[in-house]
Chain A
Amino acid sequence: MRTATVYPPPFPGCAARLRAVNVNVRYFAGAREAAGREAESFDVEDGSDIAALLTEIVRRHPSMEALRPSLRYALGNDFAAPEAVLATGAVVALLPPVGGG
């Protein structure tokens, strides 16, 4: 998978790091309000997991930091662990504590 996309690579290993995966993020409830939007896209380094994506999200939306400890995540339509690795086109949802019923 680690094929060089830039030639010549400036130094070994750099090409792999330059590859980015594009993921879509959906925000719900308090997370939607913190982000000020329902969805947006992020480019993250190849091999990034949801936790790494969160760091990028917090960088863009600092008020998300307060919610972070209570968030759960979905990849597609299923719960996912923060360690879940992201592929291009992945849809990640940020789920604050639920309160249906």
Chain B
Amino acid sequence: MLSPFNVTPDPIDATEVRAAVLAPDCGAVVVFHGTVRNKTGARSVTHLEYEAFAPMAIGEMQKIAEEMVRTHGVHRVACTHRVGRVEIGEDAMVMAVSSPHRAAALAAVADFIARLKQDVPIWKKEYFDGGAVWIGTPENPQGEGEMPAPVARERDA
């Protein structure tokens, strides 16, 4: 079985990520796919390119996962993130959390992603017709708001 945290240029097999967290005493397994969407705001996106400082990224994922286990009481966390070119509709990342009960697992998924976007050394370059920009810089902030609740927003409609 794969290690729970990976950075890979290959398409992600979500069943492997899920398998890394399964445990008989867990009644909840939440698997989240972060997929490449075809636009940011009004801009059409053609594809993304990810870059990672792999050993550090894996180490930071591990630290955040340990924190999720401590703070949310979840059983296990796994996460695999792509690097290189990723096409529209493909998974850029897949993560899974197992927990005895669902509330903790759902919360830990949201929390883990928020922390990943802050502290894991992985960079995203967004390609559109006529150019490309690194996302997360002061000029091109991450488009997604932190998520207090999954309420419908206009751009999700």
Q: Which residues of A contact B (CB under 8 A)?
A: 26, 28-30, 32, 70, 74, 77-79, 93, 95-101
Contacts and interface: CB of A to CB of B under 8 A. Distances in A.
Contacts of B113: 101
A93 B53 contact: yes
A54 B138 CA distance: 20
Given A29-B125, A30-B134, A30-B137, A100 B56 contact: no
Contacts of B117: 98-101
A97 B120 CA distance: 10
Secondary structure class of chain A's binding surface, majority of residues: mixed
A58 B134 CA distance: 20
15 contacts: A28-B123, A30-B134, A77-B56, A78-B56, A78-B59, A96-B136, A98-B119, A98-B120, A99-B135, A99-B136, A99-B142, A100-B52, A100-B92, A100-B93, A100-B122
Interface residues of B, number: 29
B67 interface: no
A28 B136 CA distance: 13
B55 A101 contact: no
A29 B123 contact: yes
A85 B138 CA distance: 28
Nearest to B61: A100
**8 A-B pairs with the lowest CB-CB distances in the bound complex, closest first:** A100-B122, A99-B136, A29-B123, A99-B135, A99-B124, A97-B136, A77-B56, A101-B117
Interface of B: 34, 50-53, 55-57, 59, 81, 92-93, 113, 116-125, 134-138, 142
Given A77-B55, A78-B59, 20 more contacts: A28-B53, A28-B123, A29-B125, A74-B56, A74-B121, A79-B119, A93-B121, A95-B121, A96-B137, A97-B137, A97-B138, A98-B121, A98-B122, A99-B117, A100-B52, A100-B57, A100-B120, A100-B124, A101-B92, A101-B93
A77 B57 CA distance: 8
Contact of B122 (A78, A79, A99): A99
A28 B51 contact: yes
